[in-house]
Amino acid sequence: MKALVLSGGKGTRLRPITHTMAKQLVPVANEPILGYVFQHLEDAGIKEVGVIVAPETQEDVRAFLKEGKRWKLKVTYILQDQPLGLAHAVKTAKPFLGDSPFVMYLGDNLLAEGIKGYRERFLEEKLDAFLFLKEVDNPSSFGVAVLDKKGRITKLIEKPKNPPSNLALVGIYFFSPRIHEAIDRIKPSARGELEITDAIQELMNMKGQVKGHKLEGWWLDTGKKDDFLAANTIVLDDYVKRNVCGQCDAQSQIIGRVSLGTGVKVVNSTIRGPVVIGEEAEIIDSFIGPYTTIGPHTRVFHSVVEHSVILNHCLIENIPRLEDSLIGRESRVILGQKQSKALRLLIGDNGVVEV
């Protein structure tokens, strides 16, 4: 079995961060989302991975995966010039996929339990499609599935106005090679894309065996800022262990599950976990509250930060309270005049905010 990872697209919902960074490379708990995806694939016994890349961000994706030699996966890069739908991505990848069954994994999705074990179920039951589903509060924003009592999918609708169920399609799919024939039989939707839901529906029309599995653990689509911060919160809750490296003076307190990278300097500050702070960062005269991730080489002076993600080489200075924020690489947030309100910011790379 092969894997197809989608790491293209324009990431419009996460701009301005994604003007200069692939959304799949935005870090959660200081690990790019794509890193979690690749770990799940390796844990499931996958050996070959095709990665769909976009012209604008392919170099960054290639650089990250080349650096990440920790995964024993053979990677093939597949250029998709325009984001014309998930089924179009499969069509573009057909020379790589050949006649192999495969798992398609959207590179901006996070799954609590990974996919280990589901590969075997898909193959043993000789299915043509096996889909992950999750109950959601806003099914109109997703592709929606209807399941019968035996777990077979009887109906699929893309972003319905009147949803027939609250089971959303998660961005992970197992397919047999028959999906290629189904894609060849569909036409672009009203928005000009080849929809994977249309292809799966056509597979069902072809009498293909299509089943769904309702997830009990968490699933997160990190396409928007609030979703991304929620993902950071959940990953910190699940994965962070106390690991205090670096230098902490006697006036500082490190409370709870806090992971400090090598070379971190903490002076006269309190850090209350779960928190992850990358290597060579500096925390001076500050409070870092729960569910915060701070990237390598970032400096926080005389500030309070909670429930935020700050990427690498940033400066946060004299900010009374920064919360629910996502700050891009090499950005600065500094106090220019006295103010006491909490700041909630979404800043792209190399941004400067003086408040």
pLDDT at 231 over 90: no
- Alpha-carbon span 354 to 337, nearest angstrom: 8
Question: pLDDT (tens digit, 9 = 90+) per residue, 303-352?
Answer: 999 999 999 999 999 999 999 999 999 999 998 766 667 899 999 889 88
**Dist. CA 3–CA 8, nearest whole Å:** 15
Q: pLDDT tens-digit profile of 62-114?
A: 888 885 567 888 999 999 888 788 999 999 999 999 999 999 998 888 877 78
The 10s digit of each residue's pLDDT in 256-271 is 999 999 999 999 999 9
Alpha-carbon torsion, ordered 323, 328, 330, 336, to 10 deg: -40
**Contact between residue 53 and residue 8 where contact means Cβ atoms under 8 Å apart:** yes
* 2-235 against 241-354: fold identical: no
243 residue type, one letter: N
Between CA 269 and CA 301 the distance in angstroms is: 10
Per-residue model confidence (pLDDT) at position 11? 53
Residue 79 DSSP SS3: strand
> Radius of gyration over alpha carbons of the chain, in Å?
22
φ and ψ at residue 224, rounded to 5 degrees: -120, 165
Q: How far apart are CA 333 and CA 83, in angstroms?
A: 34
- Give, in order, the Cα–Cα distances in Å from 113 to each of 125, 220, 224, 343: 21, 12, 22, 34
The full set of domain ranges for the chain reads: 2-235, 241-354
pTM of the model: 0.84
Going by C-alpha positions, the residue among 153, 206, 136 that lies closest to residue 145 is 153
**Residue type (1 letter), 6:** L
Q: What is the mean pLDDT of residues 118-125?
A: 91
Token output for 127: 């299915």
The pLDDT-based confidence of 280 (bands split at 50, 70, 90) is very high
Give the residue from 142, 332, 309, 123 showing the smallest Cα distance to 221: 142
* Range 2-235: architecture per CATH: Alpha-Beta Complex (3.90)
Cα 119 to chain center, whole Å?
A: 21
Mean pLDDT of 273-298: 96
pLDDT of residue 264: 96
- Of the ranges 5-14, 117-126, 282-291, which one carries the lowest mean pLDDT score? 5-14
**pLDDT over 80 (residue 3):** yes
Percent of the chain at pLDDT exceeding 90: 51
Query: Tell me, what's the pLDDT at 210?
Result: 93
CATH class name, domain 241-354 = mainly beta
- Which residue, 183, 169, 25, is CA-closest to 97? 183
pLDDT for the residue 139: 85
Confidence of residue 223 (pLDDT cuts 50, 70, 90): low
